[in-house]
Amino acid sequence: MFFTALPVLVIIHFLSLRYTKRRGLKFANFEVIEKIIGRKIVSKNWLLLSTRLIILSSLILGVSGMTVWYNGRGSDFNYGLLIDASTSMAANDYNPSRISAAKEAALIFLDSVGSAKMGVVTFTGTTFVKQRLTENFDDVRETINNINLESVGGTAIGDALVVGSNLFFPDAKEGNNVLILLTDGQSNVGLSVKDAIPFLLDNNVLVYTIGIGTIEGGEFAEDIVSRLDEETLMFIADETGGEYHRVENTNQLRNVFENLAELKIKRISKDLTVSLLLFGVISLLVEWGLMNSKYRSLP
């Protein structure tokens, strides 16, 4: 809304030029002088207009509390594992099944990650909190070993993301919070993935999405074929600053989890409010000083 002041400034600038030119023509024939010297006497002062627009934009962005997000190096991460436990995870394109491969890879991740806090959530059409955030890896290991397929139908990825974000990182101040989402299906019930993204951004959460399944898909429950929705998983990762990985066999899944255990990138925010306000005020003073010195020119 504040940016509506920018076109107003442009209009005022050119109206003041017209007024000044009319006033100046009462005392001198600028048109004749311009023909003689070959250049404009009354300038449109594009540089002055551009400078004022930059100053005003800086002040508006500063007042609005502009914050820039970027990925930087960090340590002491908190991890939330979101593991799909729907019946499609029994598909036969992994040996012996997708859910068994997921549990095995999660245990490898647990052994590789070092010092951290970790929690576990499984989901189908409903989200199940299996382990709250803890430093006790023995509890986490037992939780992972005890994960089983759930009978509730559907795949509620959006709900799982919000539950994981709010459960594991309710008072997040730093961007050292990571959700690892492992699923083989499509989000088809519950909160939409798009609506879940703001909750993740508010808690400074990166989401690394892992699509488990082959291109051909895998069969389960009387010849039903399960295939990935890669577009959704890519969207989640891109929006939160994480990465998407597709894994087609058990070895690839292990490698992805081992690489995530070495993760040193976190989500960092930079509040530009003070910087922009200082820049705007200082620039305004400099511009005012120049306009009242020997550099002053006709508008």
Beta strands in 136-192 (DSSP E): 177-183
Q: Assess whether 79 and 122 both reside in one domain.
A: yes
Q: Assess whether 257 and 116 both reside in one domain.
A: yes
Residue type, 279: F
- Do 83 and 147 contact (CB within 8 A), yes or no? yes
Answer whether residue 219 is part of any domain: yes
The pTM assigned to this predicted structure is 0.64
Answer whether residue 246 is part of any domain: yes
What pLDDT shows up at residue 138?
A: 92
Q: Assess whether 204 and 276 both reside in one domain.
A: no
- Do 280 and 62 contact (CB within 8 A), yes or no? yes
Q: What is the DSSP letter of 272?
A: -
The token pair that represents 152 in the structure block: 């509730």
Q: Assess whether 194 and 286 both reside in one domain.
A: no
Give the DSSP H/E element, type plus range, for residue 267.
strand 265-271
Q: Assess whether 76 and 113 both reside in one domain.
A: yes
What pLDDT shows up at residue 75?
A: 46
Q: What is the CATH number of the domain that holds 262?
A: 3.40.50.410
How long a stretch of residues is the chain?
299
Answer whether residue 234 is part of any domain: yes
What pLDDT shows up at residue 154?
A: 85
Q: Assess whether 145 and 47 both reside in one domain.
A: no
DSSP state string for 42-86: S---HHHHHHHHHHHHHHHHHHTT-EEEEEEE--S-EEEEEEE-S
Q: Assess whether 59 and 75 both reside in one domain.
A: no
User: Half-sphere exposure of 137 toward its Cβ, with a 13 Å CA cutoff?
Assistant: 13
Q: Assess whether 80 and 226 both reside in one domain.
A: yes
Answer whether residue 27 is part of any domain: yes
Burial of 174 (0-12, 13-18, 19+ CB in 10 A): middle
For each of the chain's 299 residues, which pLDDT tens digit applies?
A: 444 544 654 455 455 555 555 554 444 555 554 554 444 544 445 566 566 667 667 767 666 666 665 555 444 678 999 999 988 888 877 878 889 999 999 999 988 887 788 999 999 999 999 999 998 999 999 999 999 998 888 899 999 999 999 988 877 655 578 999 999 878 888 899 999 999 898 888 889 999 987 767 666 666 666 677 889 999 999 999 899 998 888 888 888 888 888 766 555 556 677 777 777 677 767 666 656 554 454 44
Q: Assess whether 97 and 56 both reside in one domain.
A: no
Answer whether residue 164 is part of any domain: yes
Domain of 259? 70-270
Answer whether residue 297 is part of any domain: no
Q: Comparing C-alpha atoms, which of 117, 27, 11, 131 is closest to residue 83?
A: 131
What pLDDT shows up at residue 221?
A: 64
Answer whether residue 46 is part of any domain: yes
Q: Assess whether 96 and 181 both reside in one domain.
A: yes
Q: Assess whether 242 and 281 both reside in one domain.
A: no
Number of domains into which the chain is organized: 2
User: Half-sphere exposure of 139 toward its Cβ, with a 13 Å CA cutoff?
Assistant: 11
Q: Assess whether 58 and 188 both reside in one domain.
A: no
